[in-house]
Amino acid sequence: MRVRNNGPPISNLEILDALPPNTRLVGGSNLVLTSLDRGETRTFPYSVEAVMFGMYRIGPIRMRASDLGRYRALEKTRDSRTTLWVYPDIRYVSKIAISPHRPRNWPGETTARRPGTGIDYYGVKEYSSGDSLRRVNWKASSRSPEILINQFLDEAGGDILVVLDARTVSEVGAPPDSLLTHATRASAAIAYRLLRDRNRVGLIGMGGNLVTVHPGFGKGQFEKILVSLLMLKTGDGWSMENLSSLLSLHFSRYTQIVLVSPMMDDKSSEAVVRSSAAGYSIIVVSPSPMGVAGDVGSRETPEVRIAEELVRLRRQAQLSSLRRYCAVVDWQTSRPLGDAIYRLVEPRLR
């Protein structure tokens, strides 16, 4: 804080820079007691740390000036605020089998079923003007009256949309170890890896508000996705019932949908079924609520064990029914996300 006194001298001045919840001091103090002469400027540094990622507004600044005997005092509040953006701490996903449903016409990392400039063998064709002589298949050409050259599969990118379910029913546990926290980090990690694979990646976040980022490329696109994730609020302002309508209005059926949701109710399952029936290819990444809810009492009692078993069986039945419409990743949050996606999604795509 930098404070300048443009008025008469102040004997006692109390300054408080209000801190938002989920932040704590790690150095200095946001509450100071000082004195200022006319025209004097003083700086009061302090350090603050956020408990978890999010958008924080520091301020306003409250000031109270009084005389030496504290018989008279004047209080004022200055609406001076600082926005602090704290990005989620994500881990790089080294193994991921998510790829666009239908590759487009720009270079990428997805093997398309058409000839191009990749490295996987596709077939042979007759030599034509402009073809590279390095691709001549001499063995096949010796048995043919024409010169034959090798063709390889094309490697292209596509459109991928990450959809994050941030409704109240998805908020299991307490931050910073809640289910929605893990889902947000997973969405950011998936978007980062898919952008690295030269895909166009977008975002839809549905909760207390709606955030949308249309598909794009590069580092700037990842920054937009991170900022949108921080602006997403938990709540029930937007229902999953609106998902198929949003997709049909703004995104083509060539877009691969990656839904990150714990699938805690029937509305999320119905949204997946309707979107799949509309022609969209969907991959569900579902962080498991088991082990995230924290200590709910003595887990050694028969009642608690029976309740946990019922929740587990209901979840398995729900995910099994969804596998008729899309690929499903049952992600245990205690395990790396990349291992879960690589093991469960890759056999379907292959």
Q: pTM for this structure?
A: 0.77
Residues 170 and 289: their CA atoms lie apart, in Å, by 9
Closest CA to 154 of 199, 104, 222, 197: 104
> What's the pLDDT at 154?
61
Once rounded to an integer, what is the mean pLDDT over residues 282-308?
75
Joined together, the tokens standing for residue 61 give 């600044």
In a domain, 103, yes or no: no
Secondary-structure breakdown of the chain: helix, strand, coil percentages, each rounded to the nearest 5 = 30, 35, 35
> What's the pLDDT at 303?
81
Structural domains of the chain, count: 3
75 and 125, same domain (yes or no)? no
Boundary (domain end) residue, out of 97, 122, 156: 156
Joined together, the tokens standing for residue 56 give 């924080």
Percent of the chain with pLDDT over 90: 37
Question: How many residues in total does the chain contain?
Answer: 350
Angle formed at CA 50 by CA 194 and CA 231, multiple of 5 degrees: 50
Tell me which long-range contacts 272-277 makes (C-beta under 8 A, separation of at least 24).
272/322, 272/325, 272/326, 273/322, 273/325, 274/243, 274/244, 275/243, 275/244, 275/247, 276/325, 276/326, 277/325
In a domain, 102, yes or no: no
180 and 299, same domain (yes or no)? yes
pLDDT tens across 172-227, in order?
A: 877 777 888 999 999 999 999 999 888 999 999 999 999 999 999 988 999 999 99
Q: pLDDT tier at 294 (50, 70, 90 boundaries)? A: low
What does DSSP say about strands 256-260 and 159-165: parallel, antiparallel, or unpaired? Answer: parallel
In a domain, 198, yes or no: yes
Residue 271's Cβ-count burial label (10 Å; 0-12, 13-18, 19+) is buried
Q: pLDDT tier at 247 (50, 70, 90 boundaries)? A: very high
> What's the pLDDT at 48?
93
Once rounded to an integer, what is the mean pLDDT over residues 123-147?
79
In a domain, 99, yes or no: no
pLDDT tens across 78-125, in order?
A: 988 889 999 988 888 877 778 777 777 656 556 666 666 666 666 777
188 and 273, same domain (yes or no)? yes
- Per-residue pLDDT for 298 more than 60? no
For residues 327 and 106, which has the higher predicted lDDT (pLDDT)?
327
235 and 339, same domain (yes or no)? yes
263 and 191, same domain (yes or no)? yes
In a domain, 104, yes or no: no
> What's the pLDDT at 316?
87
Tell me which long-range contacts 306-315 makes (C-beta under 8 A, separation of at least 24).
315/263, 315/288, 315/289, 315/290
DSSP state letters, 80-121:
--EEEEE--------------SS--SSEEEEEEEEEEEEEEE
175 and 207, same domain (yes or no)? yes
Joined together, the tokens standing for residue 98 give 């998510």
In a domain, 170, yes or no: yes
Joined together, the tokens standing for residue 97 give 């089998």
Domain extent for 136: 114-156
126 and 163, same domain (yes or no)? no
Mean pLDDT of the chain: 84
For residue 284, the cross-strand partners are 259, 328
Residue type, 337: L
- Per-residue pLDDT for 350 more than 50? no
What letter would DSSP give residue 133?
G
Give me the CATH number covering residue 59. 2.60.40
170 and 292, same domain (yes or no)? yes
119 and 193, same domain (yes or no)? no
In a domain, 180, yes or no: yes
16 and 121, same domain (yes or no)? no
Helices within the chain (DSSP H only):
138-141, 179-196, 218-231, 243-250, 266-277, 302-322, 337-349
Boundary (domain end) residue, out of 86, 102, 127: 86
- Three-state DSSP class for 10? strand
118 and 151, same domain (yes or no)? yes
> What's the pLDDT at 333?
86
283 and 169, same domain (yes or no)? yes
Joined together, the tokens standing for residue 66 give 């009084």
Give me the CATH number covering residue 301. 3.40.50.410
In a domain, 298, yes or no: yes
Q: pLDDT tier at 15 (50, 70, 90 boundaries)? A: very high
